[in-house]
A = this chain, B = another copy of it.
């Protein structure tokens, strides 16, 4: 992090000027109008504290590392593969290097892996960096792109996201309309990002549209860690199973866990309980039964994010919010018949229906 005249930050300026740090940031970056009187208070506070955003900006402009950092919270999920790959490919084409590191919001405060001292810009996954840090970066004009979240205080960081709300609404409506499901559980991802909340909102809207009651007992909130997902989900299903005919899982990794728990409980999917996921990870089509899910363009999210951060680094115009479209992929786990995917490979076998499809 760039430090101005010892340890003075825009938070100090904001306190002195009795405004929010976001307001200081907007004023310094001219990203939104600020009342004249407020601007004068900010100017005065900066003089009193000896804070010079220009010094920080100049330092940023002069040392180029041709390196972009990406900060994520974990690397244990196949989900990150396509995301990082999309970023890495675009940056390599432009002779930039992508460095990756994990960060835990709160815990890693003041000890971030990337900043203006070692990168030309960063891509931040969900809530892995504190709002205060983002406001600080915004104030000094450090190029930053947010993934799967909106910026704090409406700052002008570009954000890249996928259609979460509409996709889960459609998926839930499909369970109701096409398969007559009425008691639909929703399993939150344990990390509770904005996209997860958008997915729950889509689920709730579908219920509302069909006049089905929202029942908090059918919603598993993410007060478990990913490592304990299996146990949390088993306990949840044991509670709700006698009263539930479908499960909307927050993502494909959770759907995989749900399918395992239902299999061990001897519950037939989709006949007794339908299961759907989100992402369409590479294994989704090969699960038992093949998983109905939402195809999220995760690699494209990475490519867009990389292009946006390069635009910022070069001082070019960027889209403030990019929302990439998703597709429903209907397979067997929701109750759909499953498409006929077979095609001739060899004439020497007489194709037979595989059991379980």
Enumerate chain A interface residues (CB-CB to B < 8 A).
74-78, 80-82, 84-85, 88, 97-102, 113, 118, 234, 237-238, 241-242, 253, 256, 259-269, 272, 282-283, 285-290, 341-346, 348-357
Contact = CB atoms under 8 A, between A and B. Distances in A.
Contact of A272 (B238, B267, B349): B349
A263 B341 contact: yes
Given A81-B80, A286-B256, A267 B349 contact: yes
A354 B356 contact: yes
Copies of this chain per assembly: 2
Contacts of A238: 345-346
18 contacts: A75-B80, A75-B100, A76-B82, A76-B85, A99-B101, A118-B118, A241-B345, A241-B348, A263-B342, A264-B342, A264-B343, A264-B345, A266-B350, A268-B354, A283-B287, A286-B288, A288-B357, A356-B356
Given A260-B286, A356-B356, A75 B88 contact: yes
A79 B146 CA distance: 26
Nearest to A88: B102
Given A256-B282, A355-B355, 16 more contacts: A74-B85, A76-B84, A77-B78, A99-B100, A99-B113, A118-B118, A234-B345, A241-B348, A260-B285, A262-B345, A265-B342, A265-B345, A265-B346, A268-B352, A283-B283, A283-B286
The 4 A-B residue pairs whose C-beta atoms are closest, nearest first, are A356-B356, A266-B351, A265-B345, A242-B348
A351 B241 contact: no
B100 A100 contact: yes
Given A75-B88, A80-B75, A80-B81, A345 B261 contact: yes
A267 B341 CA distance: 13
A85 to B, nearest CB: 5
